[in-house]
Amino acid sequence: MKKLQEQTNDMSAVTFDERGLVPVVVQDYTTGEVLMLAYANEEALRLTQESGELYLFSRSRKRLWHKGETSGNVMKVRRLTLDCDGDAVLALVCPEGPACHTGHRSCFFEDIMKGPDGDATFPGKLWQYLLRRKGADPKESYTAKLISQGLPRVAQKVGEEGVELAIALTLNDKGQIIYEASDLVYHVLVSLIAAGVSIDDVRCELASRHGEKL
């Protein structure tokens, strides 16, 4: 697939429809959530490339639309990627607020077919939740309390949970493995927040090791 940001000022690879528009699927860079579906014309894509913020074209208002121009919930664009036919764009963004005018994080929140809980976007959503809990009252939030106790205490908890998972693995107790792995993942995420390390930093490191194999 061809990345638009590598084709600065060249829209020749994009197939616009008869109205001069192309659909844009907007996805959260950190969580993987699909946030919205909108449309862009050539000018909107150029402005997005130049500014690093998402510009779209409003079909109802028939004009350019800087996402967040009214609400302040702008979207910083990390990447624009074309699909295989060149007639749809995927925008990976870091949103500074809800994507939906209803106040929801995503415009996709009405299930018409129920599925299992804990989809693939859950780890990223958990990360966002823990970032918010960092600033909570330590008396009411275990996450805030643990972070307030400092890195040595957080490191101790990560070590304890790692040992407990190792014991569960040694016993080959599937239920306990799942339980202890969940505890360890939670505490690792909290440790990153306490240390001021972004989950994106870890993802980039993993990608540098394994990205070409995926």
What would the pLDDT profile of 17-46 be if each residue is shown by its tens digit? Answer: 999 999 999 999 999 999 999 999 999 999
Rounded Cα–Cα distance for residues 139 and 137 (Å): 5
Helix (H) or strand (E) holding 90: strand 89-95
More confident residue, 6 or 76: 76
211 falls in which pLDDT band (50, 70, 90)? confident
pTM: 0.80
Residues above pLDDT 70, as percent of the chain: 94
Question: Which of 94, 59, 92, 44 minimizes the C-alpha distance to 74?
Answer: 94
Residue 7's pLDDT is 45
Residue 78's pLDDT is 95
What would the pLDDT profile of 117-172 be if each residue is shown by its tens digit? Answer: 778 899 999 999 999 999 999 999 999 999 999 999 999 999 999 999 999 999 99
Check whether 182 has a pLDDT greater than 50. Answer: yes
Q: Which of 8-17, 97-106, 146-155 has the lowest mean pLDDT?
A: 8-17
Q: What is the CA radius of gyration of the chain?
A: 21
31, 120 contact by CB (below 8 A): no
Average pLDDT, integer, range 33-60: 97
How confident is the prediction for the chain on average, in pLDDT?
A: 92
10 falls in which pLDDT band (50, 70, 90)? low
Cα-to-chain-centroid distance, residue 106: 11
Average pLDDT, integer, range 177-192: 98
6 falls in which pLDDT band (50, 70, 90)? very low
- Cβ-proximal residues to 64 (8 Å cutoff; 6+ apart), any chain: 41, 43, 44, 47, 55, 56, 57, 58
Check whether 116 has a pLDDT greater than 90. Answer: no
115 falls in which pLDDT band (50, 70, 90)? confident
